[in-house]
Amino acid sequence: MYTKTQAAAETIKVQSDNGTLRLQFSTKYNPIFGGKRKHQGLGLKDTPENWQKAIAIAYRIEGDLQHPDWQQLFDPTFAKYGLKTKYAAELKLAAPIPEPEPEITVGAMWEDYLIWKQPQLEPTTYHFHYLTTFTNVIKGMVWDKNSREFTLNGYSIWDIKLSELPCFISSLKASDRLKSRVSSALSEAFKLAQSLGKTKLSANPFIIVGGITENKTDKYKSTINADGETQEWWNTSNHELSLEDTDTRAFTKEERDIIIKAFYESDKAATRQVAPLVEFLFLTGCRSGEAFALRWQDVFIGREKNYARFSKSYNGRLKNTQVTKTGEIRLFKIYPKLNDLLLRIKPENAKPTDLVFVNSGGTSQTSGLLYEKWVNSTTTKKGIKYTYPGVVTQLAESGAISCYLSPYHTRHTFITLQAQSGTDLLLLATACGNSVEVIQRHYLGIDTNVEITDI
């Protein structure tokens, strides 16, 4: 069952459940609804206009429930609020709305939030960002690149009560960008705690006053640490790198072709094996997990049908196959260059259920393998750690391309090149699984050769 939730009033949410709208009441109201969590159908279809009506109803009901004379004002049959319920059961309203429990800790608030937030997120987003990265920041844990594990840094706010919380920003140790994201999540967690009646605080301690100024320097340049050692960009912990989806820089068409050629002409067989995947990512702009899950039964090449179907995504770290990031099935129209690639790599004896991109063992390729061949790989011999730069890292260091960009920028490159070449934006947005607004905002920069009209 698919459910979409939007905050309406502080203690009542509006939800879309299977195409119709309903109200979800906070657990603080359980006593007046027989001790159970209350959901009330509205008999309204899921449309923008009905969302506004539903939100207005939620505010009106909450106003009655929050009033000192709520027992006289609140109508348990909901007829007062314009609802025609199938069962207008009489409820005993003798039980008072309970007072908030003693002030909870940040950790307890966060655990409640994770339970509430998980159904709203993709498994990978929940696991890697919320359950791992954000949680570790709150617990005061940082990634130690030498021991390859998380260690305490002395900046934990996990066990601090909300009412005793010091200055939030100064209590965390993370990049400004990560602090901003954790702050946003904690702010939402605090609002949830308020709606559940688990905090007496009225002011949200996690709202950043004045915002955070993010570091605008090139994140891929080397830096000097406190010990005077040069730190290359790839020594940044992986959980930090995973937050770079908002960086929409792109390679030029010439740089794209240089990268593809370098993979095919590598002197390493394992790198050459990844070359078709890299070319496919550049030519479709699909997410890597969607390519990993693609099977030949999803590829239709012919006169009547000529498209690829993206309906699943594979995550190598979680070792599971799930729906696409947007939960939608996309049909991607195959054009000549992509058609040539698919015909070239398709085995003569390929079965419909065979994966399109496989490693030497016949199993799905993964982001870990792509990362090694694109960025760098490491190995330890006799206690000494060796790092071998990947294809794109070498190209950037040699000056063959202008700068290093991550594997995810194959997607940004495809969208940018297509958008700037005049491809219909609605077609492009549909093919790539985002919106025209996103493409206009992030991929269509201002043409500096265009001048303001003299009128």
Domain of 387, CATH number, reads 1.10.443.10
C-alpha to C-alpha distance for 418 and 428, rounded to whole angstroms: 8
CA 390 to chain centre: 26
Residue 421 and residue 272 share a domain? yes
Q: What angle do CA 284, 221, 315 make, to 5 degrees?
A: 40
pLDDT over 70 percentage in the chain: 74
What is residue 315's predicted lDDT score, i.e. its pLDDT? 66
- Average pLDDT for 2-11: 54
Is residue 73 included in any domain, yes or no?
Answer: yes
Q: Which tops the pLDDT comparison, 192 or 245? A: 192
Residue 345 and residue 235 share a domain? no
Residue 258 and residue 241 share a domain? no
Q: How many domains does the chain have?
A: 3
pTM of the model: 0.51
Question: In the 8-state DSSP scheme, what is residue 101?
Answer: P
Q: How far is CA 49 from CA 21, 54, 61, 442, in A?
A: 11, 9, 19, 29
Is residue 405 included in any domain, yes or no?
Answer: yes
Please tell me the chain's helix, strand, coil percentages from 3-state DSSP, rounded to the nearest 5.
40, 15, 40
Domain end (from 245, 269, 297): 245
Residue 376 and residue 337 share a domain? yes
First to last CA, the chain: 56
Residue in the block written with tokens 């390859």: 148
- Average pLDDT for 209-233: 49
Q: What is the pLDDT of residues 267-283, one digit of tens each?
A: 998 899 999 999 999 99
Give the residue among 437, 432, 442 at the shortest CA–CA distance from 324: 432
What is residue 451's predicted lDDT score, i.e. its pLDDT? 55
Residue 202 and residue 153 share a domain? yes
Residue 336 and residue 403 share a domain? yes
What is the overall mean pLDDT for the chain? 76
Is residue 95 included in any domain, yes or no?
Answer: no
Is residue 208 included in any domain, yes or no?
Answer: yes
Is residue 289 included in any domain, yes or no?
Answer: yes
Of 134-138, 219-223, 245-249, the one with minimum mean pLDDT is: 219-223
Residue 239 and residue 266 share a domain? no
Is residue 94 included in any domain, yes or no?
Answer: no
In which domain, by residue range, is 362 found? 253-439
Domain end (from 218, 245, 272): 245
Domain end (from 229, 245, 261): 245
Is residue 92 included in any domain, yes or no?
Answer: no
- Average pLDDT for 96-110: 72
What is residue 85's predicted lDDT score, i.e. its pLDDT? 56
Q: What confidence tier does 220 reach under pLDDT thresholds 50, 70, 90?
A: low
Residue 240 and residue 358 share a domain? no
C-alpha to C-alpha distance for 107 and 134, rounded to whole angstroms: 12
| Cβ partners under 8 Å of residue 367, min gap 6 | 288, 289, 292, 315, 316, 317, 407
Residue 147 and residue 32 share a domain? no
Residue 311 and residue 169 share a domain? no
Residue 48 and residue 136 share a domain? no
What is the token pair recorded at 278? 């890299």
pLDDT exceeds 60 at position 95 = no
What is residue 279's predicted lDDT score, i.e. its pLDDT? 95
Q: What is the pLDDT of residues 353-394, one digit of tens each?
A: 899 998 877 777 777 788 889 988 777 677 777 778 889 999
Q: What confidence tier does 259 reach under pLDDT thresholds 50, 70, 90?
A: very high
Is residue 27 included in any domain, yes or no?
Answer: yes
Q: What is the pLDDT of residues 306-333, one digit of tens each?
A: 888 887 777 655 565 665 565 677 888 8
What is residue 392's predicted lDDT score, i.e. its pLDDT? 93
Q: What is the pLDDT of residues 338-364, one digit of tens each?
A: 999 999 999 888 888 899 998 877 777
Q: Which tops the pLDDT comparison, 176 or 277? A: 277
Q: What is the pLDDT of residues 37-75, one digit of tens each?
A: 788 888 888 887 888 888 888 888 888 887 777 777 887
Residue 417 and residue 363 share a domain? yes
C-alpha to C-alpha distance for 46 and 21, rounded to whole angstroms: 6
